[in-house]
Structure 1
Amino acid sequence: MITNGFTYVAFLIFFAAMIVLAEKKSKGKFFTYVPAIVLLYFGAMLLSTLGVWQNSNKEITAVYKALKDNLLPAMIFLMLLRCDLRKIVKLGPKMLIGFFAATITIMIGFIVTYILFKGFYEPDTWKSFAALSGSWIGGTGNMIAVQGALDIPDSKLGYTLLMDSINYSIWVMFLLWAVSLAPKFNKWTKADTSVIDEIGAELSKHEEGLRKEIQFSDIIILLGVSLLVSALSIQFGGMLPKSTFFQGTTWTILIATVAGVIFAMTPLAKIPGSSQLSNLMLYTIVALIASRANFAELTKAPIYIISGFVILGIHALLLSLIGKLLKLDLFTLGVASLANIGGVASAPILAGAYSEALVPIGVLMALMGYIVGTGGGILVGKILSIL
């Protein structure tokens, strides 16, 4: 049994590294449907259940809390450095409308589903839904940010990751299958698709000529700035007025988010490596959170998986009606949906299934989810807590 704090962290990061290595070497489709980060969560959760480390140990608890709380704002800041609002605006009004329509219908799906199945859920399930809505509007980083902002117990993320894995995988397969239905759907909505290829080609230009090689100076600069932003966010977050819903951690997350959006429009955003460094922090944080969870807590898994499909069903129905009303094409609606629910990992894949020239649109729409995911998750949590 591990009782030393440093050994505990070292083992978790090593375990994460082995899963990432397995994903890199894998030639099958296993990791297409079971993302490495989900496997990391349930793997660390299994090890915790088996008692590989002692969660009641004071040293382990102290290391866990210090590392998680201080890395989280830094990760959010780095994650948002790629979200240049000036580039996102180039998507055009219809695609932006499609994205926010997807966001709003997902939020409605969570609220309606919670009302329908409230009697079947465990107490405080609204916290699990708040975290999952953060993920399904933005990404896993937003889920962790919502958890930190609302002080959601680690045990509540078990159902969240379960739904995020199973329901998300089915949804990706459905949207890829639906690509063949695009002509019929576009005829039904009377959508004009002539502008899409032009926007895709224009967005591709900004990638040309960018320096791709990551140097030591890039990593040390990004690490130094992100950790300083984290320290200042924690400092100022603790000084701002508190309420029942807005605690110091909530302000900390929001300050780091605003800082990331602002710095995304500065020369700092052009330094390569922010994605890799934020992913390193994300995997570390997810491993830490999973290390405090236990499989014995997942006693009502089926109802949560069913709830996930109900949320997606409501989202799909409302989004299709909005598409009909505003004459939006299936590409815009599908990529908008997956940009919210799947993020950067899958939205470009769906965009590429339509045309390789459209991949940048999928990337930008997914990055936009990073900006609104945390706020959207907090808002859903606030509404559900009242219900």
Structure 2
Amino acid sequence: MAAATDPSASTALITNDAVVMGLLAVTLGAIFWTASRPDGFWKKFYTYVPALLLCYLIPAVYNSIGLIDGNDKTLYVMARDYMLPSALVLLCIAIDLGAILRLGPKAVIMFLTGTVGVMLGALVAFGAMSVIHPETVAGDTWRGMTTVAGSWIGGGANQAAMKEVFEVDKFDPDMFGQFVAVDVLVANLWMAVLLFLAARSEAFDRWTGADTSAIEDMKRRIETYQAEHSRIPSLTDLMVILAVGLGATGLSHFLAEPMVAWIGGLPENWNLEDYSLDSGFFWMVVFATTIGLGLSFTRARSLEGAGASRVGSAMLYVLVATIGMHMDIGALLDKPGLFGLGLIWISVHAGLLLIMAKLIRAPLFFMAVGSQANVGGAASAPVVASAFHPALAPVGVLLAVLGYALGTYCAYLTGQMLRVVAG
């Protein structure tokens, strides 16, 4: 990781990566310190505002006011490639795989509902903006929308695939960048809403009449295990936890590189890129999750007693902060039409999820993670899942991997429907 960025390339007040990292660390520390106050103003404040939401929004404010440069993705790449896989491994160590399987089919149903919501939302948003502000969807705007569909169903690899399939840059060199902004801002706003709702899950579950016994059983098993094996971590414990997390991350990267190279040598007509199987990030996440789940069946699980999942959660919060620092709240004013399009789009996605959650009496956890596994992917789905309980983070990862597989096909179908609607 570079120690600093080129000051001439940014107008932000702080351009040194080390200083930005320090600022984010202090911000996270301040949030958690104030959230731990047992009484007074902060006690009342955090009754209504989840701490996790602030971990995301305050860095966004830093970027919006020009304090830091959100376009510099150095810290995000570090958190995504090093901390995310380490966190997945450490969170998976204490997981009860059988408990995940006992969660039942509702998690998958909500995930697929989220996928349909993105596809249907594209058509509804296009039609609505055709009436509200026709200039927003004039010409080849529909092509740019396919890239958002790819991102919101799958991930970055699927988004890039749609960019090439529908030749977005050929028709407008600025279009892809505009829709990346729509993708990031609207998706992050929705993530903020989900984090806000996570703190009110009990009220939501009462409204849907959801049976949360399987989720509560899973959390109870983890908490019981932690209580029985909990100990004050020694330096040896912490070093072993870091060794397991970062060692597994290194192994995941090591295995991902030859896997991608091998897949790249397979016949092109197999179209494996349609499943994002040529993505190094995809394989890195898969390997990290698999290693973590494998370790949960070994003596490594005893590391949970020394706080393995807490270390993993701390790494996830750093990822949250680096995600938030890319959001420019002021950018909403630059292209109001396109952002209006995105807001309508995500509203349809959210509305369909709410309807389905009520119909099948699904817990908020399934709705939130099913949505984020689509819209946010493997980088942020475990963040939302861990807002309910650290033990639930792997559920978000498993669903997000499914999104990678569906992303290109569903986004391509969405693009063809938009082509017909656009005439």
Fold match, TM over 0.5?
yes
- 1:337 aligned residue: 367
Equivalence map 1:216-365=2 (5 Å): 216-241=239-264, 246=273, 250-264=278-292, 265-266=294-295, 267=298, 271=303, 272=308, 273-280=311-318, 283-284=321-322, 287=325, 298-299=335-336, 300-321=338-359, 323=360, 330=361, 332-341=362-371, 363-365=390-392
- Structure 1's unaligned 5+ residue stretches are 135-145, 324-329, 351-361
The size of the alignment, in residue pairs, is 339
Secondary structure of the corresponding residue to residue 215 of structure 1? helix
- Could you say if the C-alpha distance between residues 206 and 240 of structure 1 is closer, same or farther in structure 2, counting changes exceeding 3 Å? same
Q: What is the rounded CA distance, in whole Å, between the counterparts of 2:220 and 2:291 in structure 1?
A: 26
Take 1:80 and 1:219, find their aligned partners in 2: how far apart are those partners? 13
Gaps spanning 5+ residues in structure 2: where? 1-5, 35-41, 130-136, 164-175, 373-380, 416-423
C-alpha distance 228-161 of structure 1, shift in aligned 2 (>3 A)? same
SS of the counterpart of 1:305?
A: helix
Return the offset for 1:241.
Answer: 2.0
Tell whether 2:147 aligns with 1:127.
Answer: yes
Cα displacement (A) at 1:368: 0.5
1:147 maps to a residue whose letter is: G
The Cα of 1:124 is off from its aligned counterpart by 2.2
Q: 1:217 to 1:169 in 2, by over 3 A?
A: closer
Letter in 2 for 1:373: A
Give the letter aligned to residue 372 of structure 1: L
Pick one of 352, 370, 380 that aligns with 2:397.
370
Counterpart CA distance in 2 for 1:80 and 1:53 is 28
Looking at structure 1, the residues matched to 58 and 80 of structure 2 have their Cα atoms a distance apart, in angstroms, of 20
Question: What are the superposed Cα offsets for residues 290-336 of structure 1, whole Å, 9 maximum, x if unpaired?
Answer: 69x96676533233223222111111223333x1xxxxxx4x53332
SS where residue 13 of structure 1 aligns?
A: helix
Q: Aligned letter for 2:59?
A: L
Cα pair distance change 1:333/1:282, threshold 3 Å: closer
Q: Percent identity?
A: 11
Q: Does 1:24 align with 2:32?
A: yes
Distance 1:302 1:241, change over 3 A: same
Residues 382, 397 of structure 2: 8 Å contact kept: no
Q: Give the corresponding residue for 2:85.
A: 77
Partners of 1:70 and 1:181 in 2: CA distance: 35
Match of residue 37 from structure 1:
56
RMSD: 4.5
Q: Which of 89, 99, 120 is residue 90 of structure 1 equivalent to? A: 99
Moved more, 176-185 or 120-129: 176-185
Q: CA–CA distance in 2 between the matches of 1:212 and 1:104? A: 42
Is 366-375 or 335-344 further displaced after alignment? 335-344
The answer to whether the 8 A contact 2:70-2:327 is kept is no
| Equivalent position SS for 2:263 | coil
Kindly indicate whether the alpha-carbon contact (under 8 Å) linking 1:23 and 1:31 is maintained by their aligned counterparts in 2.
no
Alpha-carbon offset, residue 77 of structure 1: 2.5
- Looking at structure 1, the residues matched to 348 and 358 of structure 2 have their Cα atoms a distance apart, in angstroms, of 15
Aligned-partner residue type, residue 119 of structure 2: I
Q: Distance in 1 between matches of 2:353 and 2:201?
A: 15
Q: Larger deviation: 99-108 or 272-281?
A: 272-281
* C-alpha separation in 1, matches of 2:204 and 2:390: 23
Q: Quickly say closer, same or farther: Cα 1:74–1:127, change in 2 above 3 A.
A: farther
User: What is the distance in 1 between the residues matched to 2:319 and 2:259?
Assistant: 22
1:221: Cα distance to partner? Answer: 4.7
Question: TM-score of the superposition, structure 2-length normalised?
Answer: 0.62
Contact 1:3 1:53 in 2 (8 A): no
Q: Offset of 1:341 from its aligned partner?
A: 4.2
Matching of residues 159-170 of structure 1 within 5 Å: 159-170=182-193
Aligned mate of 2:111, from 80, 95, 103: 103
